[in-house]
Amino acid sequence: MASQQDSSAYWSKNISIIKGCLIVWFVASFGMAILLRPLLSGIGVGGTDLGFWFAQQGSIIVFLILIFFYAWRMNKLDAEYGVDEE
């Protein structure tokens, strides 16, 4: 990295990505599975209601998707700031 300004911008974007991922994870795991479960009880998925499905499997799938998204996005950010491994 060339300067302190580049370093600050890099970490600012990194923290923004992390915050976005945490918000999505919170909505999928706590929001959909606990807070919105009564609203989702009429929607069937795999023989059960959508709220229960999110509590048991959906939040895990969303978490795995977020891991791959974060890795992909950070690779792009690293390349943009010249700190990539390749």
Mean pLDDT computed over 61-71: 95
- In the chain, the number of structural domains is 1
pLDDT in tens, 5-38: 888 999 999 999 999 999 999 988 888 777 877 8
Domain annotation covers residue 59: yes
Mean residue pLDDT across the chain: 86
Residue 58 structural domain: 12-81
Domain annotation covers residue 31: yes
Domain annotation covers residue 28: yes
Q: Which residue has the higher pLDDT, 46 or 18?
A: 18
Q: Token pair for residue 7? A: 């370093």
The fraction of the chain above a pLDDT of 70, given in percent, is 97
Domain annotation covers residue 6: no
Domain annotation covers residue 3: no
> What string of H, E and C letters represents the secondary structure of the chain?
CCCHHHHHHHHHHHHHHHHHHHHHHHHHHHHHHHHCHHHHCCCEECCEEHHHHHHHHHHHHHHHHHHHHHHHHHHHHHHHHCCCCC
Look at residue 69 and tell me whether its pLDDT is greater than 90.
yes
